């Protein structure tokens, strides 16, 4: 990650005034600034061998390791820098701040907050505190602790009125707490203040697109999402914007080369009690359509008894008869959901509850999920798909001929083939649902990490549940 100019200057000053060989430190730092990390690393390592109290050198080694995702060694060096820095100087402040960033990337969220707060508590210089507060603000927003995130955003705004990042965060908070008008205001302010058009503008355009989608303004949504793609500042924002645009091609006449020779469906719209249905064709199958609607309205009520979702708008189902046409127009295999706008695309013959559950899960209990995992998200959709088949047997068929050790291996492997992962995840979540209390299952939905599951059920009980499930999976 490239450092902002102010931070680079401050770090150079910090390093040059340390009780180590300042000239060598400066030379190493210049190599680092020129992206010559191998030589910089070698020079810093030499300094630590010559001077065991070289806290600044340990800090920079840790930072370089973090940038190449060698997180284990990075943590070790940053902690060493703190240990050496007995006086709790700026080196400790920066080390705690970067430890917080590393633990965020590795998913150890309990440590993130402690490290960032420690950096703020040391308060050795304004820039390191700003950096830690900015990181903490992002963490609080990601964990849906919106009051805390907004409070930090206000602090940063008051200190630096032209800082675009807190405006982007507040705009995003207002999007997810159903305040579209103020979301639009803050997100536009973030873009206006972001002179260098960094990742902040990229994500602000994406969130503006989302906001316009929630109020049905398809044209402005497409405009903002295309802006995010044109900026191309953060790969994740570009990918997210492209996915939203692809899912919108069937909703509006957004120009797209892939649609030139295709005729998008002329949707037949039928309003259900809880769902708006878009059918490709209803001719000569009135009874079939009525049955379809009745099944889905009943499933809606049954599933939402568990998730108690509070959605910003009525759920929409786009029901395709032609899977190939759907793939050509949307660039995706059916089914899939745009949960933020409560919209799903499904085949007519698809299981009743699978895609619906994705939306229920996202809006469950009226509060955003604090941590998602593909395993639990797909597991919930499989567990509540309203199909009466034996889910354990279906999972066993999916792993036939494959090595199976424990269901936890599937939880940890995010890129596994969905034809294997989804049935196993569905069976396990269904198993847990029938073994848990309402509060335990709610906790599993809201924080989908394995660590949270262990805390929720208790380590001993959770291990027993895993053993019981694995035994069933291994039984012939």
Give exposure, 237-266, as e/b (b: 16+ Cβ within 10 Å). Answer: bbebbebbbbbbbbbeebeeeeeeeeeebe
Mean local confidence (pLDDT), 107-136: 79
Domain range holding 214? 158-248
Q: Are residues 84 and 191 in the same domain?
A: no
Q: Are residues 309 and 379 in the same domain?
A: no
> What number of other Cβ atoms are within 10 A of residue 218's Cβ?
15
Strands 275-279 and 268-271: what pairing? antiparallel
Q: Residue 409, SS3?
A: helix
Q: Are residues 19 and 62 in the same domain?
A: yes
pLDDT at 258 over 50: no
Mean local confidence (pLDDT), 278-301: 88
Question: What pLDDT digit, counting tens, does each position of 365-397 carry?
Answer: 877 777 888 899 999 999 999 988 899 999 999
Q: Quote the CA–CA distance of 338 and 220 in Å, as a whole number.
A: 17
Q: Quote the CA–CA distance of 319 and 321 in Å, as a whole number.
A: 7
Question: Residue 423's pLDDT band (boundaries 50, 70, 90)?
Answer: very high
Q: Are residues 296 and 360 in the same domain?
A: yes
Q: Does residue 94 fall inside a structural domain?
A: yes
- CA-to-CA separations, 329 to 247, 251, 266, in angstroms, rounded: 9, 10, 13
pLDDT for the residue numbered 408: 92
User: What are residue 371's DSSP bridge partners?
Assistant: 447
Q: Are residues 131 and 12 in the same domain?
A: yes
Question: What pLDDT digit, counting tens, does each position of 126-180 carry?
Answer: 677 888 888 888 888 877 788 888 888 898 888 888 889 999 999 999 988 888 8
Q: Quote the CA–CA distance of 392 and 405 in Å, as a whole number.
A: 15
Q: Residue 202, SS3?
A: helix
Of 305, 338, 367, the position where a domain reaches its end is 367
Question: Quick one: which of 251, 168, 175 has its CA closest to 211?
Answer: 175
Question: In the structure encoding, which two tokens stand for residue 316, read together?
Answer: 């929409």
| Eight-state DSSP code of residue 3 | P
pLDDT for the residue numbered 253: 38
Q: Does residue 330 fall inside a structural domain?
A: yes
Return all residues near 309 (Cβ < 8 A) that are at least 6 apart.
359, 360, 363, 364, 365, 366
Q: Does residue 258 fall inside a structural domain?
A: no
pLDDT for the residue numbered 124: 62
pLDDT for the residue numbered 395: 92
pLDDT at 201 over 80: yes
Q: Does residue 93 fall inside a structural domain?
A: yes
Q: Are residues 135 and 218 in the same domain?
A: no
pLDDT for the residue numbered 367: 75
Q: Quote the CA–CA distance of 472 and 264 in Å, as a whole number.
A: 46
Give the whole-number percent of the chain exceeding pLDDT 70: 89
Q: Are residues 273 and 242 in the same domain?
A: no
Q: Are residues 360 and 407 in the same domain?
A: no
Question: Quick one: which of 271, 351, 340, 345 has its CA closest to 303?
Answer: 351
Number of domains into which the chain is organized: 4
pLDDT for the residue numbered 431: 95
Residue 19 sits in a domain whose CATH number is: 1.25.40.10
Q: Does residue 325 fall inside a structural domain?
A: yes
Q: Are residues 228 and 284 in the same domain?
A: no
Q: Are residues 241 and 270 in the same domain?
A: no
Question: What pLDDT digit, counting tens, does each position of 41-100 carry?
Answer: 888 888 787 776 678 888 888 888 888 888 889 899 899 988 888 877 888 888 888 898
Q: Quote the CA–CA distance of 430 and 436 in Å, as a whole number.
A: 10
């Amino acid at each position: 990650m490239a450092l902002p100019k102010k931070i680079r200057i401050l770090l150079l000053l910090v390093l040059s005034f340390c009780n180590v060989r300042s000239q060598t430190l400066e030379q190493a730092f210049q190599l680092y600034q020129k992206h010559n990390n191998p030589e910089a690393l070698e020079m810093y390592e030499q300094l630590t061998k010559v001077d065991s109290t070289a806290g600044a050198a340990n800090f920079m080694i840790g930072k370089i390791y973090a940038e190449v995702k060698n997180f284990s060694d990075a943590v070790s060096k940053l902690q060493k820098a703190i240990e050496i820095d007995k006086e709790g100087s700026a080196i400790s402040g920066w080390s705690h701040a970067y430890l917080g960033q590393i633990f965020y990337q590795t998913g150890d969220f309990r440590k993130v907050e402690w490290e960032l707060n420690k950096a703020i508590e040391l308060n050795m210089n304004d820039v390191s505190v700003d950096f830690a507060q900015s990181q903490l603000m992002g963490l609080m927003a990601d964990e849906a602790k919106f009051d805390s995130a907004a409070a930090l955003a206000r602090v940063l705004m008051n200190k630096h009125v032209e800082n675009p990042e807190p405006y982007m965060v507040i705009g995003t908070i207002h999007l997810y707490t159903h305040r579209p008008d103020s979301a639009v205001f803050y997100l536009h302010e973030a873009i206006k203040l972001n002179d260098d058009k960094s990742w902040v503008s990229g994500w602000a355009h994406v969130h503006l697109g989302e906001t316009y989608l929630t109020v049905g303004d398809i044209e402005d949504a497409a405009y903002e999402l295309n802006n995010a793609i044109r900026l191309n500042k953060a790969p994740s924002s570009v990918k997210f914007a492209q996915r939203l645009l692809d899912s919108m091609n069937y909703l509006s006449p957004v120009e797209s080369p892939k649609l030139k020779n295709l005729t998008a469906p002329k949707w037949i719209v039928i309003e259900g009690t809880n769902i708006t249905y878009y059918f490709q064709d209803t001719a000569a199958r009135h009874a079939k359509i009525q049955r379809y609607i009745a099944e889905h309205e009943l499933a809606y009520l049954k599933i939402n008894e568990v998730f108690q979702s509070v959605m910003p708008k009525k759920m929409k189902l786009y029901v395709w008869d032609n899977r190939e046409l759907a793939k050509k127009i949307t660039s995706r295999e059916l089914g899939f959901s745009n949960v933020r706008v409560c919209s799903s695309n499904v085949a007519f013959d698809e299981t009743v509850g699978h895609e619906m559950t994705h939306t229920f899960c996202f809006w469950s209990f009226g509060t955003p999920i604090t941590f998602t995992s593909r395993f639990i998200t797909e597991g919930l959709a499989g567990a509540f798909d309203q199909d009466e088949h034996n889910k354990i047997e279906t999972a066993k068929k999916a792993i036939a001929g494959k090595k199976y050790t424990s269901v936890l291996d599937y939880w940890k492997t995010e890129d596994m083939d969905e034809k294997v992962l989804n049935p196993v995840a569905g069976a396990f979540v269904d198993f847990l649902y029938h073994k848990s209390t309402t509060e335990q299952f709610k906790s599993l939905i809201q924080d989908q990490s394995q660590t949270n599951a262990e805390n929720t059920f208790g380590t001993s009980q959770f291990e027993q549940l895993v053993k019981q499930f694995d035994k069933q999976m291994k039984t012939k």
